[in-house]
Structure 1
Amino acid sequence: MHRRGVGAGAIAKKKLAEAKYKERGTVLAEDQIVQLAKVFGLRCLELVTSIMSSVFRSLKCAWP
């Protein structure tokens, strides 16, 4: 018995599924980037605050 090839409906369904997965992957990647930006933003803010407070303390000690 000869096996038939894949039908046009199956090909269209597969392409639609691939497009959905690609779109969902893009959305997830964007969400992760936003979360990383928030985390790094907060850490940079904490670092800058820490540096500024230490500079002000040293200036305060230097200027009586």
Structure 2
Amino acid sequence: MHRRGVGAGAIAKKKLAEAKYKERGTVLAEDQLAQLEKDFGLRCWAWGTSIMN
């Protein structure tokens, strides 16, 4: 038997899922970057004050 190609519905569903996960990945990356900036900023401040004393 010959198998048919992927239908338009499956293609649309796949594109929707890819867009959803791409958006979620962007949000996670932004959260991670904000946390790194927060941690790095606190470390720089602590490092700067320890050198001054």
Confirm or deny a common fold (TM above 0.5).
yes
Identity %: 83
- Residue in 2 that maps onto 1:36: 36
Q: Distance in 1 between matches of 2:2 and 2:48?
A: 72
**Mapping for residues 38-57 of structure 1, pairs under 5 Å:** 38-53=38-53
**Unpaired stretches in structure 2, ≥5 consecutive residues:** none
Question: TM-score scaled to structure 2, two decimals?
Answer: 0.94
Runs of 4+ in 1 over 3 A off after TM superposition: none
Q: Deviations over 1:12-34 (max 9, x none)?
A: 00000001111111110000000
Q: Secondary structure at the match of 2:6?
A: coil
Q: Deviations over 1:8-64 (max 9, x none)?
A: 0000000000011111111100000000000000000001111111xxxxxxxxxxx
Aligned length: 53
